[in-house]
Amino acid sequence: MIPVKTFGLLSLFAVIPVAAYAGVSNGSGALALSAIVGDGSPLTSPADKKLLAAYLNGRADAPHAKGQRVAVKADAIDCRAGNVDITSHSCDLTFGGKKVELRGRKAHELYATLIENGVALEGAAGSSHASITALDCNVDADEVAEKAGGGARCAFNP
């Protein structure tokens, strides 16, 4: 039997609209997401792209300015992988008014990284689909260099 207090709380939650919870990731998955999206972003400087690529290639000791932080943002990311045409992999990234298309291996890498970061898959006609909006990643270069598991954080809306 459910106690009256528990029933009352459950009833209250049933009638109160709940806002969608944003996704959050930290550590290795967030670093990979930052590096892959940052590489395709027209908003990320060449120097920041180089640093993120070095980190993704296992070089935590990559030279950087003390206190350097790299921000990677995207308005929307929409990736698809074919489950009928299994050679089909594509991602569309939106940065303000600019759109970037990834195809093939790079698209699959981003698709898999979204899943690694907890983005749920959805089915569509002939493909599976992972998408997010409002991606906001921050990489703290000093913290990454410490090799203690931190330094990269991403937030997004599923």
**Residue 82 covered by a domain:** yes
For the record, the structure tokens of 84 come out as: 């009928």
- Per-residue pLDDT at 8 exceeds 60: no
Residue 116 belongs to domain spanning: 22-157
**Residue 9 covered by a domain:** no
Degrees (nearest 5) of the Cα angle 30, 32, 36?
A: 120
**Residue 8 covered by a domain:** no
Q: What is the pLDDT of residue 126?
A: 85
**Residue 124 covered by a domain:** yes
**Residue 12 covered by a domain:** no
**Residue 148 covered by a domain:** yes
Count CB neighbours of 20 within 10 A: 7
- The average confidence (pLDDT) of the chain is 89
Concatenated DSSP letters of the chain: ---HHHHHHHHHHHHS--PPPPEEEETHHHHHHHHHHHHH-TTS-HHHHHHHHHHHTT-TT----TT-EEEEEEEEEEEEEESSSTT-EEEEEEETTEEEEEEHHHHHHHHHHHHHTTPPPEEETTEEEEEEEEEEEEEEHHHHHTTSS-SEEEEEE-
Over the stretch 57-74, which tens digit does the pLDDT of each residue have? Answer: 999 999 999 999 999 999
Indicate the number of domains in the chain. Answer: 1
**Residue 32 covered by a domain:** yes
Q: Burial letters for 98-116: b for 16+ Cβ neighbours within 10 Å, e otherwise? A: eebebeeebbbbbbbbbbe
**Residue 17 covered by a domain:** no
- Taking residues 39-44, what's their average pLDDT? 96
pTM for the whole thing? 0.84
- Per-residue pLDDT at 40 exceeds 90: yes
Cβ(25)–Cβ(154) below 8 Å: yes
- Per-residue pLDDT at 37 exceeds 70: yes
What is the amino acid identity at position 99?
A: K
